[in-house]
Amino acid sequence: MFFCITISAHQSANAQPSVNTLSTVRQGKRFQSFQKEDRQLSFYSDVHAEYQADYLLFGARAQGFNAPGLRDLGAPLQERYAHFSQLYAEVRWDWGKARIGNYYEIFGKGILLRGFELPGFIYEGLISRNQKRIIQDFSGQLLVLQPGAWTIKLLNAKPVDPLQQPDNRIVERYVGRLSGVEVDVALPAGVSLGGAYLEHRNEVADPFDVSLSIKRQAAYATRFMQWNAWDVLKKTGIENASAEFYMEYATRQGADQFGNLGADVPHGFYSSGNFTYGKLGLSLEYKDYNDFNLIFNDPPPGIRESSEFLLNRATHTLEAESETGYQIEAFYAPGRQTRIVANYSLARNFFDFGIRQLFQERYLAFEFRGNLWSSQFFIDSGQDTQVGELERITGGMLTSYHLERGTTLALDLQMQGIQPEFGRYFRNQYLSLKVQDIRSFSFAFSIERTQDPDVLNEAEKSADYLLSATVGWQPSFRHNLQLFAGKRRSGTYCDHGFCVEVLDFEGIELRMETRL
């Protein structure tokens, strides 16, 4: 699958054309699937081009996928597509901008509306088995005005379902139409106040006659407040201290509920506070979501998103239909090179028919950042009945050594034990060795030993070993190539608060990125 984008315009002194590409060639199969699969060859490419000259910006994005072998698996969707998933033009001036086409935008902290893109991640659908980028954007018009202390946003757009492929001929990729406005103002003493109103119009199939459709319209409103107390603390003579607070409450505004802020209406509430004083730091978050999964929103999850390999795969997935919870994180830096971090997260879900789910996690880590040596030791315990885990304990060590010539040697060792709600206790062990030269080359080898019954398709196996190797080459800062060979298991992947399920894979994958 190949794309060619030609951009031509009058070259001004401030003209800045750019092209970013991400392409993969994959030869492999799923090994955890109950359906026996042969190795499939697939191609994916994503090309994003922009041209900026003075106050104008033009952009286009094309995605393509081709895997002829999916036809043999009886996949319900087409095994190939090629589509311009984004086209846009923007004009900017000193106190605002106007845009037509595709764009990202956020109201408040995203409880009501948030557009985003998971950087560098390629998603493979469980049913369709085709690949795409995770992009939640909007197609329409956007106007942003910033006169003085005021910020005003006006939008009219179609929101996209980020899990639908760019050229989907069976399931509609866009979910209705949005019209909304946000207004916020910056006040003295670091205080800002704001609010937003949003209308969503959609048509859904009649459950009694699929040939007919039902028109639906919903209205939402949110109010938020933020206070950065750094200036106030400084004026009062408190040095080396900072504090920041945020609070937002969004509701569905029905005809008989406009202005109703009660807990019985569909709502989303989020608040947070961050405090630092010298070597100490503390952050608090609280959430309360009820019937607020709007597809085009992305509320703060209110739980720790870990970078550790085994912990990231066990990250709790937010259920905005019904979830309350909080997290507390504290750190202490006894020296310039050391830090101790402690976190506690809790989330409760209350669904119909008396279904209850509980997630809680306790995390403790010691970090050392030296000139040559860097190390991290962590221990984590928790449970997540959403995925059937009554108890989970994870611990590990991540250490790296930096050579004088820019080469880094890294070791990552993690161990995990899980007691499921049904079934026997099992363990996961993970080991990774990495050598990276800052100028061009990198090599990583990883092995995971697992007793997870979801991975062990053969009942007689007591454990399975998943080996993989990755070779990277960066001939310049504009080009990056990575070759992966081996096995990687399925599991949750979380980035920037958004979690998706990654399918297992066994085979070879070549990944190519360019920035021109």
Specify the CATH number for the domain of residue 397.
2.40.160
Q: Which of 247, 275, 299 is the last residue of a domain?
A: 299
Give the tens place of pLDDT for each residue, 412-458: 999 999 999 988 999 999 999 999 886 789 999 999 999 998 888 66
Paired with 209 in beta bridges are 206
In a domain, 247, yes or no: yes
> In terms of domains, do 312 and 291 share one?
no
Residues 249 and 384 in one domain: no
Residue 277 falls within a domain, yes or no? Answer: yes
Asked if 82 and 67 count as a contact pair (C-beta separation under 8 A), the reply is no
Its pTM stands at: 0.89
| pLDDT surpassing 50 at residue 7 | no
Can you tell me the distance from the alpha carbon of 327 to that of 313, in angstroms, rounded to the nearest whole number? 19
- Kindly state whether residues 308 and 451 are assigned to the same domain: yes
Same domain for 453 and 314: yes
Please report the pLDDT score of residue 231 as a whole number: 84
198 and 308, same domain (yes or no): no
* pLDDT in the model for residue 11: 46
Predicted local confidence at residue 125, as pLDDT:
85
CB pairs under 8 A, 24+ apart, for 468-475? 469/443, 469/444, 469/445, 470/442, 470/443, 470/444, 470/445, 470/446, 471/441, 471/442, 471/443, 472/436, 472/441, 472/442, 472/443, 472/444, 473/440, 473/441, 473/442, 474/439, 474/440, 474/441, 474/442, 475/440
CA-to-CA distance for 418 and 435, rounded, in angstroms?
31
160: containing domain: 55-209+218-299
What are the pLDDT digits (tens) for 241-280?
A: 999 999 999 999 764 555 555 667 899 999 999 999 999 9
Instruction: List the structure tokens of 455.
Output: 């991975």
255 is written with which tokens? 């005809």
Report residue 237: phi and psi, to 5°. 90, 5
CA atoms of 106 and 455, how far apart (whole Å): 39
Q: Is 260 in the same domain as 320? A: no
Q: How far apart are CA 19 and CA 347, in angstroms?
A: 42
Residue 4 inside a domain? The answer is no
In the predicted structure, residue 466 carries a pLDDT above the cut 90:
yes
Chosen domain end from 250, 266, 299: 299
Do 294 and 311 reside in the same domain of the chain?
Answer: no
80 and 199 co-located in one domain: yes
- Tell me the per-residue pLDDT of 67-101, one tens digit each, with 9 for 90 and over: 887 777 665 556 788 889 999 999 999 999 999 99
- Domain end, chosen from 268, 299, 330, is at 299
Average pLDDT, the chain: 88
**Nearest Cα residue to 203 out of 214, 188, 192:** 214
Is 90 exceeded by the pLDDT of residue 240? no
pLDDT, tens digit, 9 for 90 and up, residues 184-233: 999 999 999 999 999 999 876 555 555 556 778 899 999 999 999 988 88
Task: Judge whether 186 and 173 are in contact, CB under 8 Å.
Answer: no
348 and 483 share a domain? Answer: yes
Look at strands 426-437 and 441-450 and give their pairing.
antiparallel
Q: What are phi and psi of 163, to 5 degrees?
A: -90, -5
Instruction: Return the structure tokens found at 81.
Output: 């597509």
Q: What is the number of other CB atoms lying within 10 angstroms of the CB of residue 437?
A: 16
Whole-number Cα distances in Å, 116 to 14, 296, 415:
27, 10, 33
Q: Tell me how many domains the chain contains.
A: 2
* Inside any domain, residue 26: no
The residues, ordered by sequence, that sit 6+ positions from 209 with a Cβ below 8 Å of its Cβ are: none
Tokens linked to 117: 């893109």
**Is 12 part of a structural domain of the chain?**
no
Mean pLDDT of all residues in 138-149 = 96
The verdict on 170 and 121 lying in the same domain is yes
The reply to whether 11 falls in a domain is no
